[in-house]
Amino acid sequence: MSKPADTDLAAYSGFATNLDGKAMAALLRAEVAKDVAALQLRQTKPGLAVALVGDDPASQVYVKGKVRACQEVGIASTMLTLPATTTQAELLAQVDAWNADPAIDGILVQLPLPGHIAARAVIDRIDPAKDVDGFHPLNLGLLAAGRPGLVACTPAGILKMLSIYGGAHGWTPAGKRAAVLGRSITVGRPMALLLTNADATVTTCHSRTPDLAGRVAEADLVIAAAGSRHLIQGGWVKRGAVVIDVGIHRNPDGTLSGDVDYAAARLRAAAISPVPGGVGPMTIAQLMRNCTDAAARRRGISLV
């Protein structure tokens, strides 16, 4: 893997805008709370059902954060904690019950699941109209077709971040070269589709991409969701690029870091999201957005 020629990083020190996900998420939650209040005036209260199978500590933290966010914006939440011994048939039966429940507008089964449960079977069982995670094949297909549907929360949250940043700095993905590192259905694939629909020229990179450093160096926008700590070195980043770091890794000293070497990359980038405090808060806020939109669509209510 070759490394592009570096320049004097000190010359760019301090120029990067910090993409504060906490502040941006607060803006998005305020929008959602306003729409939830409007739905309540029409005797509709969005409802989110969350299933947590097993006792994975990280998943417990994520789920509690989602339930807390529901309380903040006025969404009714149902949290079901199931033992790790829960069978696939039992979990699918619970999904079926929520599919049939008119009070539930969004269904979220927290991943990862225990090894004996096929995540794909569970995702496919969720009613696409209630698939607030945006992982169902129908919603992915709608996204690929450029048609309205429920979009995965992290990519949709990132696009909102870019919209907020762009509104303040006159920046847009249209016409830009974008490198998306990772091709999962949770982030990479839907992110590439969203950016394509926004008229960016997108390169999807992965473990078999030759000269990854070169692909990053060409990009005006870098979305790092490869799941590898500090994979993106600061010297790879094009001067003036916008960098979004989706990765989250715990360091030996207990601190967190991402897929990007933040300290070095911020000396070259025009804007960069930190880890933590960047993409994470926007993902949860976008989940609230998806649930509220699902509630309105299911009842034929326009929130415009």
What's the pLDDT at 7? Answer: 35
Helix (H) / strand (E) containing 18: strand 17-18
Among 35, 66, 160, 286, the one annotated catalytic: 66
Do residues 123 and 69 both lie within one domain?
yes
- Examine the pLDDT at 144 and tell me if it is beyond 70: yes
* Omega before 190 within 30 of 0, i.e. cis: no
In the structure encoding, which two tokens stand for residue 12, read together?
């760019």
Per-residue pLDDT, averaged over 261-286, amounts to 96
Q: Which of 105, 127, 131, 133 is catalytic?
A: 133
Per the annotation, the verdict on 110 as an active-site residue is: yes
Enter the pTM of the model: 0.93
Domain contains 288: no
Q: What is the span of the domain harbouring residue 116?
A: 43-128
CB-CB contact of 200 with 174 (8 Å): yes
List, for residues 29-51, the tens digit of each pLDDT value: 999 999 999 999 999 999 999 99
Residues 168, 76: one domain?
no
Query: Are residues 172 and 116 located together in one domain of the fold?
Result: no
Is there a single domain that holds both residue 157 and residue 265? yes
By three-state DSSP, how is residue 47 classified? Answer: strand
Residues 253, 22, 28, CA angle at the centre, nearest 5°? 150
How many domains, the chain? 2
- Residue 145 forms part of a structural domain: no
Find the catalytic residue in 110, 130, 286, 293: 110
pLDDT for 57 equals 87
The answer on 71 and 190 residing in a single domain is: no
Answer yes or no: is 295 within a domain. Answer: no
The CATH number assigned to the domain holding 83 equals 3.40.50.10860
Q: Is 66 among the catalytic positions?
A: yes
Q: Is 166 in the same domain as 256?
A: yes
Q: Are 139 and 149 in contact (CB under 8 A)?
A: yes
Q: What letter represents residue 85's amino acid?
A: T
